[in-house]
Amino acid sequence: MVGKGKVKILRNRQRTIRLPKPWAESFQWKDGDKILVTAGKRYMRAIVQSHKKSHLSLSQDVIEYLLLPPVPLSWKVEKDRIRFGPFVAAYAIYSERLKDPFSSNTGVFQDMTKLANDLHVPFYVISAGGLDHENKLALSWLFDSRTGYWRQRPCPWPDFFIRKNIYTPVKWKKVIEQEAAWLEMDHGEMLSRTIGSKWDVYRMISDDPDLTSYLPHTNRIQTVRDIFRLLKRFPVVYVKPVWGMQGKHVYRVSRKSLGKIQIEFQVADQIRSLQFNVAKSRGWMSRRFLGQSGYLVQQGIDLIQDEYGRTADFRWLIQKNGEGIWSVTARVARVARKGWLTTNVSTGGDAVDAYDFLRLAGFRGDEITKSIQQMDDLSLQIVNRLENKVGSMGELGIDFGLDKTGHPWLIEVNPRPGRKMLKMLDQKLRELSLRRPLEYAKYTVGFSDRSIF
C-alpha cells in the first residue's frame, strides 16, 4: 500500500517511526517492534509507535540518516518495512551561474519540481561529481518554489535517473563515465539510455525488415567516394555528424549541371553556398568530413511544403505513462525558415501542430488521419525495436519526414529530447511532457497510486 504527504518530525533521537494505528494493525506491528525503513540505497531499523492520528512521523535521527529532503514524498508499506520515495534525480552539468545554474535545463527542472511536489515525488538535480557511491548518497540541488532559490544538500541515491547532460565538457568526461558506470552497476531505473550514435541507431533499426522501407539510404563516410556514390543515385544528399545534434554542422550537397557540385551550410545566422567542379569538391570534402569526429551521408528527402514554400519535418515525442505504456505525447511539425537547411528550433525553425501543418500543406482530412496514424505506428515499432536492443527506457524523440507522395521517412532518433518547441507551441502539452516521466518513475519504482492510504 502506498501513502503520500509530508513526514512530520519527532523531536527525539530514538530511531522511532510513529504511524496510524490502523496501519500497524493491518501489518500486525506492535508498539516496540523494529521494522526496516529505507530511502534509496540507505536503510535502518526503527521502533514502531502507533497513534490515533492519520499522519506519519519519524524521529530526527531517522530523517537525518535517511537524508529525507523537506519536500512532499510518498511511502510504500510492505510486510516488514516502509520504503520512502521514489527519489527521482536529473543529472546535469552545473554552470555556476546563479540565474541559470543548469543552463537551458534550469527552467525545465524548476517546472518539474513543482509538478513533482504535486505528485509527492522527491525531485532533485545532481551535478557531475555529485554521486558518492561508497555512502550511497548524492550531493544534490533542490529548487525552492517559494523563494526561487536553489539549495544544495545530500539526498538519497536516486531510484530513478533522468540524464539531461547533452554535452560532456572535457574536464568532466572521466567523472561522468565513472558515475554512469555506477548507475548501470546498481541497476537503477532510467528515463533514457545511451543508444549510441546516429550510425548505431540506423544499423539497429535497419536490421528490422518491417522498418527498412522507411529509412533513407545512409552510409558512414569513410572516403569522399561514399558521398559521390550516394549522390549518383539521388540529386541531393545531406552530410551530418555521427554524434551531432540540434541541426548543427549539417551540409546539403546537390548535383548541378555541367558537372558542378553545390554545397550549402550554415555559418552563424546565414546560409553559405559554394560551387565546385568535382575535382575541387573532393579536396574540400576530404578536409571537412574525414576528420576524427565522423560524418554520415544520407539520401535527401523531397519534403512537403506549406503554402508559403516552407519545408517541415515532424517530431513525435513518445513517452511511457503512469502505467508503463508507450503513448504519443506530442506531434509537432518543425517548420524551416524559407531556404534554410534544417528545421530545428535551435537554428531558427518554428513549431506548429502537426495536424495544422498537414492542412497547410494541402492534405485532406482522410490523408491527415492516415499520415498521423502511420507515424504513430512507426514510433511504437521503433521504440520497441530499440528497447529490445538497449534495454528499457521511458521517452524518445523521433523525427520523421514526409515526402511529396505522403510516404514517411525516419530521419533520426533523440534519446534525450528537449522541450523548447513545446514551450513555443502549447504550455499544457509541455507540462504533460514533464509530468509523464515523473508518473512513469512512480510506476516503475513501485509507487503507483493504485493502492493509497
**Are residues 126 and 247 located together in one domain of the fold?**
no
167 vs 100: CA distance, rounded Å: 16
- For residues 21-39, give the mean pLDDT: 93
Is 191 in a helix, a strand, or coil?
A: coil
Is residue 194 assigned to a domain? Answer: no
* CATH label of the domain that carries residue 47: 2.40.40.20
163 vs 61: CA distance, rounded Å: 32
**Are residues 312 and 439 located together in one domain of the fold?**
yes
* CATH label of the domain that carries residue 429: 3.30.470.20
**Are residues 439 and 354 located together in one domain of the fold?**
yes
Is residue 45 assigned to a domain? Answer: yes
250 vs 273: CA distance, rounded Å: 13
Q: According to the model, what pLDDT value does residue 453 have?
A: 47
Q: Please say whether the beta carbons of 213 and 413 come within 8 A.
A: no
**Are residues 96 and 176 located together in one domain of the fold?**
yes
**Are residues 240 and 173 located together in one domain of the fold?**
no
**Are residues 222 and 333 located together in one domain of the fold?**
no
Cα dihedral across residues 57, 59, 60, 62: positive or negative: negative
- For residues 47-76, give the mean pLDDT: 93
Most confident of 94-98, 183-187, 287-291, 350-354: 350-354
Is residue 452 assigned to a domain? Answer: no
What residues form DSSP beta bridges with 90? 125, 162
For residue range 163-205, list pLDDT tens digits in order: 887 667 788 889 988 988 888 887 778 898 888 899 999 999 9
Q: Please say whether the beta carbons of 358 and 258 come within 8 A.
A: no
For residue range 318-327, list pLDDT tens digits in order: 999 999 999 9
178 vs 352: CA distance, rounded Å: 40
**Are residues 173 and 41 located together in one domain of the fold?**
no
**Are residues 275 and 336 located together in one domain of the fold?**
no
Q: According to the model, what pLDDT value does residue 243 have?
A: 85
Q: According to the model, what pLDDT value does residue 293 have?
A: 74
pLDDT of residue 451 exceeding 50, the answer is no
Is residue 207 assigned to a domain? Answer: no
Give me the domain span that covers residue 348.
303-415+417-445
Domain final residue, candidates 189, 209, 233? 189
For residue range 139-164, list pLDDT tens digits in order: 999 999 899 999 999 999 999 999 88
Domain final residue, candidates 172, 189, 206? 189
pLDDT of residue 339 exceeding 80, the answer is no
**Are residues 273 and 404 located together in one domain of the fold?**
no
pLDDT of residue 452 exceeding 50, the answer is no
**Are residues 71 and 100 located together in one domain of the fold?**
no
373 — pLDDT class (breaks 50, 70, 90):
very high
Is residue 371 assigned to a domain? Answer: yes
Edge-first strand listing for the sheet containing 350-353:
350-353, 326-335, 312-320, 395-402, 408-414
405 vs 231: CA distance, rounded Å: 21
The DSSP output letter for 448 is: -
386: part of which helix (H) or strand (E)? helix 365-390
| Higher-pLDDT residue of 234, 171 | 234
Q: According to the model, what pLDDT value does residue 74 have?
A: 93
**Are residues 307 and 433 located together in one domain of the fold?**
yes
pTM value is 0.92
User: How many domains is the chain partitioned into structurally?
Assistant: 4
Domain final residue, candidates 83, 106, 123? 83
The DSSP output letter for 157 is: P
What the block records as the C-alpha cell of 101 is: 545554474
Q: Please say whether the beta carbons of 19 and 51 come within 8 A.
A: yes
What the block records as the C-alpha cell of 415 is: 534519446
Is residue 204 assigned to a domain? Answer: no
**Are residues 94 and 126 located together in one domain of the fold?**
yes
215 vs 318: CA distance, rounded Å: 19
Is residue 209 assigned to a domain? Answer: no
* CATH label of the domain that carries residue 135: 3.40.50
The DSSP output letter for 14 is: S
Strands 189-190 and 160-163, bridge-based pairing: parallel
Q: According to the model, what pLDDT value does residue 215 have?
A: 97
pLDDT of residue 105 exceeding 50, the answer is yes
